Amino acid sequence: MTYIFLALREALRIIFHQFGAFLGSVLTIFLAMLTAGSFAIIIKNTSLTLDKFKNEASLEIYLESEIDSIAKENIQDALVANRYVLQVKFIDKDMALFRLRETFGQQMVAGLKTNPLPESYEVTLESFVYENSNFEELVDSLNRLPGVEDIGYVPSAISRLKTIFKAVAFLGIVLGLLVILATGFIVGNTIHVRIAEWRQTFYVMRLVGAGSGFIYTPYLLIGSLTGLLGSALSIGILKLGTIYFCAQVAPVSFLNLPESVSFVVAGGLIGFAGSYIALKKYLNV
């Protein structure tokens, strides 16, 4: 019989005989991982929203009314050469008017005798321009180009979103670390509480010639299994919650398969670490 098979069999035997205590540990870890999982989903959705916003965001570079064709070409060349610029599109006065009509309706432009709208370049930016202070610098430099009247963008929305994302990510990381510590502590403490009743078993096993590995491996497996089941259960409930939220409130992205698997595995590792530390601390393994 292989060593690991014996350890697994022993772990299942202990779980079977102390099922209530095991279930209690699983449920406690489930609650802790539910909190961690909720934050992971919030962070993911905030990040996706920000990315989407970045991709959709563009600059409107309005040109002076008296601008000549050489200055226009110079501006276009400068834009195309800029590493933060992804795409450049020229919008002439007719197109600008057409868009205005499309957006606000015929009544909006009905009274106009001449077209007052300026020519412009519509510029789509690389998403990394929003990192650090690149965005503000870019806007300043484009504003200084000869022939540019003004630049239209939504700086406050972008910076607000960046701030929110940073806050959520920071909170998520801090809370995630706290949950990891708390979960490890819960598993460790559960093992510690039950060490008293296992002490005789450990003693008997030592007496019949069992080495440390043989004695403690089943308990490490129980810790890992507790973490795995607790986190798997929390992922399941979060998935159901997300489906309900999508149907009733608004679309929300759930963790993808690799992320979900990593989350469950992390739960197992936390359980393993918690039991290892408890055994090491209280039994001098």
Partner 1 sequence: MLIIRNIKKSFAQSEPILRDVSLELGKGEMVFLVGPSGVGKSTLLRLIYLEEKPDSGEIILGVYNFTRIKKKQVPVMRRQLGVIFQDFKLIAERTARENVALAMEVAGKSKREISQRGAELLRLVGLLHRKNNYPDQLSGGECQRVAIARALANEPLLLLADEPTGNLDSDNSQSLLELLEKINIQGCSILMATHNIDSISDMPYRKLYLDNGIIREEKN
Q: Which residues bind partner 1 (CB under 8 A)?
A: 1, 6, 13-14, 16-17, 200-201, 203-211, 214
For partner 1, give the closer residue by CB, 3 or 170: 3
> Minimal distance in Å, beta carbon 13 to partner 1?
6
**Least distance from C-beta 245 to partner 1, angstroms?**
44
Nearer residue to partner 1 within complex by CB, 19 or 244 = 19
Q: How far is the CB of 8 from partner 1 (least distance, A)?
A: 13
85-91 and 120-125 strand pairing = antiparallel
For the bound state, the minimum distance from the C-beta of residue 226 to partner 1, rounded and expressed in Å, comes to 18
State the Cα–Cα distance between residues 83 and 57, nearest whole angstrom. Answer: 16
> Which C-beta is closer to partner 1: that of 25 or that of 120?
25
DSSP for the chain, written as a single string: --HHHHHHHHHHHHHHHTHHHHHHHHHHHHHHHHHHHHHHHHHHHHHHHHHHHHHH-EEEEEEPTT--HHHHHHHHHHHHH-TTEEEEEEE-HHHHHHHHHHHH-HHHHHT-SS--PPPEEEEEE-GGGGSTTHHHHHHHHHHTSTTEEEEE--HHHHHHHHHHHHHHHHHHHHHHHHHHHHHHHHHHHHHHHHHHHHHHHHHHHHHTT--HHHHHHHHHHHHHHHHHHHHHHHHHHHHHHHHHHHHHT---PPP-HHHHHHHHHHHHHHHHHHHHHHHHHHH--
Minimum Å gap between C-beta 21 and partner 1 is: 12
Q: How far is the CB of 204 from partner 1 (least distance, A)?
A: 5
Contacts of 61 (CB under 8 A, 6+ apart): 75, 79, 120, 121, 122, 123, 142, 148, 151
Whichever of 171 and 210 has its CB closer to partner 1, that residue is 210
Report in angstroms how near the CB of residue 11 gets to partner 1 at its nearest.
11
Q: Tokens 């180009």 sit at which residue?
A: 145
Task: Quote the least distance from Cβ 198 to partner 1, whole Å.
Answer: 10
Q: Which is nearer to partner 1, 207 or 249 (CB)?
A: 207
> How far is Cα of residue 101 from the mean position of the Cα atoms in its chain?
40
Q: Based on CB atoms, which residue is closest to partner 1, 9 or 89?
A: 9
Q: Of the two residues 210 and 246, which places its CB atom closer to partner 1 in the complex?
A: 210
When the beta carbons of 214 and 282 are compared against partner 1, the nearer one is 214
